[in-house]
Amino acid sequence: MPSSRAPIVTQLVVYKVGSADEVAGKTGIAHFLEHMMFKGTDTVGPSEFSRIVSKNGGRDNAYTTYDSTGYYQTVSPDRLELVMRMEADRMANLRLTEKELAPERQVVLEERRMRIDNSPSALLDEVVHERLYGRGQPYGMPISGTVADVEALTLADLMEFYRRHYMPNNAILIVGGDTTSEQVRGLAEKYYGPIPARPVAPRRRPDHGASDLPQTVSRADPRVVEPRWSRHYLAPSFSKGESHYAHALQVLAQLLGGTETSRLWRALVVDGKQALSTWAGYRPNSLGLTSFDVGVHPASSVTMADVESAVSAELARLVDGGISAGEVERAQNQLLAAAIYSQDSLQNGPRIYGGALSTGSTIADVAAWPERIGAVRPDEVVAAARHVWQPSRLVTSLLTPPSGSR
C-alpha cells in the first residue's frame, strides 16, 4: 500500500488467531498473550519494544478480536527495518517469565474492569453473544476472558498458545506508507523468511447459532443513564452462511440505521418522537456467522414495548413495501465515501486489509468491494432483510435503570 503523502510508514502483522480460537476454561488467553508479546526476547528486554519504537519517533500498539490478533507500528520510513526486525524477533523468540506474568495479569484484569465490568452495556453485550451463539461456542466467549479463567492461566498455557499460532505461515504482513513493494519484500524475506513454518491449527466456526433462540436478555443497573433496546439477528458473513447476501446487508444497515437521515432515525426520532437515537450495524468480516444489529435509545416517556412495536413496524414496512432505487443509491454513496476516507489513514487502511485477509477474504475481494456495493439492487436488499430478520434467529436485549422496566 504505497503512499508518499506523508513521510511515515505503518507495519501491521496480523495473526490468524483470536479469542474465538480459545477453548472453554481458558478464555482470555489470546488477549493475555497480546500483552505478553511486549515482554521481551533474548535481544529486546522486557517492555523495551515500545520504548525503542518511541525513542525512534514512532508509536505502536496491538489489538485482539474474535478472529485475529494484530501488532502495528508507525514510524519514519528509515525505521521500517528496525521495527520489522523486532517484530520478527518476537514472532520467533518470545521469552516469558513468572516475574513478568503476575503484574501483567493484573493489567489485563484491570483493563477488563475498565472496559467491561464498569460498563453495563458491555456486560449485557457479553450475555447477548453467549445467548446468540451458545455458551462455550467460539463467539459466545468474551474476548477479554472471564476473570476466573484469566486468573488461572499459566506461563505454560501462554507459551503453548504462542507456539501453536505464532509463525509466519499463520500471519499476514501489511505495510502502508512511504515505501515501495520492492523494499518491503526485501526486508520481509530477510527477517520473516528464515523463521520456520509449522503446522497451522484448524479453526472451528459453527454454521448455526444457539439452539434455544429466540431469547430476551435484560440488565437493570443503577449506572444506566440512557436505557437501550436492541435486537441482534444471526446473519451470514463473507465467509459463512448465505454469503451472497453480505453486500446487500451492508447497504441495508446503512439505509436502515446508518445516519440521521436513515429510516429508523426519521421514523422514531424525527417523526414519532419515540427515541433519542437509533442505529443499525452489520460487520461481514467474520470467519463464522455474524450478526445484524438494530438499536434504540428510547425517549423518557416511551416504554420498551412501544419501542419494540415501532421498530417491528419499520422492519415490516421495509420488507413488505420495498425500497426505492434512490434510497439504495444514497446508502451506497455513503458507504463508498466512508471507505475512501478510512483508507486514507495509515492505521485504518492496513486494518481493513488485515480484517479481510484474516477471515478468508482476498486482496481481490477488498479491491472489488466498491464495485460489488455499487451493484446491489433494491430487490436484493429486501431479499437480504427477509432472509436475516427471522424471529427464530434473534436475541433481544434490554438495558434499563433498576427503578423500572420502562
Q: Please state, as a whole number, how many other Cβ atoms lie within 10 Å of the Cβ of residue 154.
A: 11
DSSP reduced 3-state for 205: coil
**Sequence letter at residue 197:** A
Residue 26, helix vs strand vs coil: coil
The answer to whether 207 and 234 have CB atoms below 8 angstroms apart is: no
Spatial CB neighbours of 31, under 8 Å, sequence gap ≥ 6: 19, 64, 108, 143, 144, 145
**Alpha carbon 398 to chain centroid, angstroms:** 22
- Classify burial at 312, counting beta carbons within 10 Å of its beta carbon; exposed 0-12, middle 13-18, buried 19 or more: middle
Q: In what order do the strands lie in the sheet with 171-177?
A: 59-64, 69-75, 9-15, 171-177
| CA distances (Å), origin 383, targets 34, 252, 255, 318, 330 | 41, 10, 15, 10, 19
**206 prior amide bond cis, ω within 30:** no
| CA dist., res. 52 & res. 44, Å (int) | 9
CA angle 293, 294, 295 (to 5 degrees): 125
Three-state secondary structure call for residue 121: helix
Do residues 14 and 70 lie in contact, with contact meaning Cβ atoms separated by under 8 Å? yes
**Alpha-carbon gap, residue 31 to 38, rounded angstroms:** 12
Left (φ > 0), alpha (ψ -120 to 50) or beta: where does 318 sit?
alpha
Phi first, then psi: give them for residue 351, nearest 5 degrees. Answer: -65, -35
Rounded CA-CA distance 228/206 in Å is 29
Residues tagged active-site = 34
